[in-house]
Amino acid sequence: MTEQEQPKPAKPKIPRQKMREQDPLERAHNFYEVALGYDNDLALLESSRCLKCKKPYCMAGCPVEVDIPDFISMVKAGDVLGASWKLKEKNSLPRIAGRVCPQESQCESKCVLNKKGKGEPCAIGRLERYVADWAAEHAEGKMPELPKPTGLKVGVVGSGPAGLTLAGALIKKGVAVTVFEALHELGGVLVYGIPEFRLPKAIVRSEIDELRQLGVEFKTNWVVGRIETVDDLLEKRKFDAVFIGTGAGAPLFLRIPGENLNGVYSANEYLTRSNLMKAYMFPEWDTPVAKGRRVVVFGGGNVAMDSARTALRLGAEEVTIVYRRTMDELPARSEEVHHAIEEGVKFQLLTAPQEILGKETGWAVGVKCQKMELGEPDDSGRRRPVPVAGAYFDIECDTVIVAIGNAANPLVPSTTKNLETNKWGNIVADLETGKTSKDRVWAGGDIVTGAATVILAMGAGRKSALSMLQTFGI
Amino acid sequence: MFEILAKERIGPGVNRAVISAPDIARAHKPGQFIILRTQENGERIPLTVADKDAEKGTITLVWQEVGVTTYYMGTMCPGDKLQDLCGPLGKPTHIEKFGTVVGVGGGIGVAPLYPITKGMHDAGNHVITILGARTEGLLIMTDDMKKVSDETLIATDDGSFGIHGFVTQVLQGLIDKGTKIDLCAAIGPVPMMRAVVKVTKAANIPTVVSLNPIMVDGTGMCGACRVEVGGKTMFGCVDGPEFDGFEVDFDLLMKRLAMYKGPELIALNKFRETPRGCECEIPGGTS
């Protein structure tokens, strides 16, 4: 670290500003957004904490390389609209990123305020959210000027964070974009996976509307691989390039006895029923979901937290997360774990499910579990959970949600000629450019990396867009 | 939007509609299905495509009114539009010249059997069709099936039309008189498919069944449609909908199909109390 990055000694010490939140006891029973965001005063105060480092480490921590010190200093100067343009130069989905990015392990982990151990990092994510929300509310209809159309066109398979980001980056360079989505609603995991209380659908829609206003074309109910293949898009539809961003959409199961009992869901199904199909509004909306009284969730990631918190909101009396390691190894964002605890989710740690118990009618009644302890670290660097001999116990429940991850959905890879995949079925693509083994085909996001975060998918979409532009000579 | 161009009632609570869906009509192959949503707050339900006309850009759907969506569709009229129609989904039927193919269709299952039978017939197979229903009025598409079959045998449980008995008895009769059958395709209620497989397994006739598990997205994403085949968990939507009948766990399928019986009834009762859509026909009527 160099001299010039030292904070000025005279700077008054302002603590990191908290975001307002719904009361935990109240919000555990509604689907409204948990975090309420900054108001103008809080945003101004927080923006004044940024040190405007000459070498902004925070930017290196951002997968889409947002000009962080620049946008924050515009907030500080009172130019929120300008800050929003600055944000959107790199990030086409800032209202989404400001809500679901794991900022604590990205930009904010690199913040000098944090690195020097002198306090908490500047709340970059919260400021991003504030700026993007403000712009959506106050700058409606104001669009950046677009360059002349280049005559090039790109087809995008999947309307999740990777595909949307790529679409935004290309349309701003005069490349026509058509996005193909298999579901009836756009947004991919942002609408079927992430619950309303963490990312309201209206926010996703507003971001997509903005892309539509910029000229991106969207086709829903359009299953690439079945209606037409990727090869058809290139040859028959004459797209200059295709980007595959189909995500990691095949739920994994533990393959333990009882997993096909009634009341046992993949997290994808449970969340899709609730989020996309609004099962929490049943019977006003037609799709039902089992409203368990006692719910057990397997897994410790963000999806497990989302499932557990959804179960509470659907009216469960008791929701328990069963995880093989300890609290320290939970892969979920600490903020989400914290929210889950506040709302009353229980954690049964160092525990591995062995069997789902059922009754004659085919419904789940409980889970047989084994106690675990931590042994030596494994390949992932985390200490491996080891069974404690003979230590079994049952948890009574009527609903089980399996949230242990997703594998690659085989539909597009299996119907595309000469597209290399790895042993897990993921598409092989260069992580820096998104280029695949197939000419004119790029891929990014979970279909390449396996299940990861929204922002990494956005980063992959952006890198692929830049690589395509370079190939096009733009 | 997907406009309904023609609609008729072909049996008690059974409807057939021709719907504009050019992309799907072009791409559809026998055995594949679609997922539809009638309106914004509707659910996603899978239906097998009964027929298509690629040139006209239409597909034909046949459905029985059993849940809130199918009842609602029963009230829809030509000119009405379905909110969403997604497909074609699932693996197409494996069609080749096997020799003699017996198609067994029970009740509404005759509709999805039709394109498969047609495909098998076009591929040069000798096609024997066995159609069954509880009673004469519940038989559907018999004339359509006759056109694509070399022989058509019809059975009703109550003897009101054709042979008095079950489709399995007719099938057993064919086997007993020494008909060489190279493949059997059975589609209908789960107990029927299970019974057919019992007969064909004993005679060692390869049998394909088309399963109808509860589904949400239909593209392999959610895992709602889990079925057990040969002791392995498979997804009905992407691994199927057709499977080797000898290997299917029909008991599990039946239990899973019953999972939402309670909520389904709540939704249906609510629907009946709140008329909506076009009211040219009375939901659940027997016209």
**Pairing state between β B2-11 and B81-82:** antiparallel
Share of residues in chain B with pLDDT > 70 (%): 95
What is the rounded distance in angstroms from the CA atom of residue B43 to the CA atom of residue A286?
5
DSSP letters along B209-226, please? EE-----SSSSSSS-TTE
- Secondary structure (3-state) at A358: strand
- pLDDT of A12: 56
Give the whole-angstrom CA distance, residue B10 versus residue B13: 8
Q: What is the mean pLDDT of residues B226-252?
A: 96
Range 404-423 of A in CB contact (< 8 A) with B = 409-411
Closest chain A residue to the Cα of B24, Cα to Cα: A227
Is A415 a residue whose pLDDT tops 70? yes
Burial of residue A360 (CB within 10 Å: 0-12, 13-18, 19+) is exposed
pLDDT score of A113: 87
Element (H, E) at A367: strand A364-377
pLDDT at B215 over 90: yes
Contact present, A193 and A270 (Cβ < 8 Å): no
- Region A255-283: mean pLDDT is 96
Between A124-138 and A80-90, two packed helices, what is the crossing angle to 10 degrees?
110
Residue numbers in A near B223 (CB within 8 A): 250-251, 253, 265-266, 268-269
Q: What number is the average pLDDT over the span A232-256?
A: 95
Q: What are the start-end ranges of the H helices in A314-399? A: 334-343
3-state secondary structure of A280: helix
Check residue B76 and give its pLDDT.
Answer: 93
State both tokens at B112.
Answer: 């999805």
Decide if B219 and A284 are in contact by the 8 Å CB cutoff.
Answer: no
Residue B7 has pLDDT above 60, yes or no: yes
Return the pLDDT at A117: 61
* CA distance, residue A405 to nearest chain B CA (Å): 12
pLDDT at A11 over 90: no
Tell me the chain A residues in contact with residue B57 when contact means C-beta distances shorter than 8 Å.
none
Beta bridge partners of B131: B105, B154
Share of chain A above pLDDT 70, in %: 96
User: CB–CB of A318/A218 below 8 Å?
Assistant: no
**Bridge partners for A241 per DSSP:** A154
pLDDT band at A158 (very low <50, low <70, confident <90, very high): very high
Which among A186, A220, A223 is the top mutation candidate for probing chain B, defined by the most B β-carbons within 10 Å of its own β-carbon?
A223
Answer yes or no: is pLDDT of A4 > 70: no
The answer to whether residue A186 neighbours chain B at the CB level (below 8 Å) is no
pLDDT given at position B284 = 43
Nearest residue of A to residue B254 by CA position? Answer: A362
B32 contact residues in A (CB cutoff 8 A): 226
Q: Which residue among B68, B86, B255 places its CB closest to the CB of A223?
A: B86
**pTM of the predicted model, to two decimals?**
0.93
* H/E run at residue A96: helix A94-100
Q: Which of B34, B45, B221, B260 to mutate to test the interface with A (most CBs of A within 10 A)?
A: B221
3-state secondary structure B114-156: HHHHHHHHHCCCEEEEEEEECCHHHCCCHHHHHHCCCEEEEEE
Average pLDDT over every residue of A135-154 = 85
Q: What is the pLDDT of residue A360?
A: 85
- For the segment A429-456, what is each residue's pLDDT rounded down to a tens digit? 999 999 999 999 999 999 999 888 888 9
Which of B32, B43, B224 is the closest to A269 by Cβ?
Answer: B224
3-state DSSP call for residue A392? strand
What is the pLDDT at residue A7? 52
In 3D space, the residue among A287, A473, A249, A49 whose CA is nearest the CA of residue B260 turns out to be A287
Q: Spell out which residues of chain B touch residue A447, defining contact as CB-CB under 8 Å.
A: none
Contact residues on chain B for A273, CB-CB shorter than 8 A: 216
**Residue A54 near residue A73, CB atoms below 8 Å:** no
Residue A140 has pLDDT above 50, yes or no: yes
Neighbours of A51 (CB within 10 A): 19
A260 touches chain B (CB under 8 A): yes
Identify the band that residue B104 occupies on the pLDDT scale cut at 50, 70 and 90.
very high
Of B23, B32, B219, the CB nearest to A411: B219
Predicted confidence (pLDDT) per residue in A192-238, tens digit: 999 999 999 999 999 999 999 999 999 999 999 999 999 999 999 99
Residue B220, sorted as left (phi over 0), alpha (psi -120 to 50) or beta, turns out to be left
ipTM for this model? 0.93
User: What's the whole-number average pLDDT of chain A?
Assistant: 92
| Contact residues for A25 (Cβ-Cβ < 8 A; gap 6+) | A343
**How confident is the prediction for chain B on average, in pLDDT?**
93
Specify the length of chain B in residues: 287
Q: CB-side exposure of B98: number of CA atoms within 13 Å?
A: 23
Residue A146: the pLDDT is 85
Lowest mean pLDDT, pick from B23-27, B157-161, B269-273, B275-279: B275-279
Q: What percent of chain A has pLDDT over 90?
A: 79
Query: Using CA atoms, how far apart are residues B185 and B244, in angstroms rounded to an integer?
Result: 10
The answer to whether residue A47 scores a pLDDT higher than 80 is yes
* CA distance linking residue A75 with residue A69, whole number of Å: 10
Note whether A275 contacts B: Cβ–Cβ < 8 A. Answer: no
Is there a contact between A223 and B87 if contact means CB atoms under 8 Å apart? Answer: yes
The whole-number average pLDDT for the span A73-95 is 92
Residue A177's pLDDT band (boundaries 50, 70, 90)? very high
Q: Where residue A1 falls among pLDDT bands split at 50, 70, 90?
A: very low
Instruction: Kindly state the average pLDDT of the residues A125-133.
Output: 95
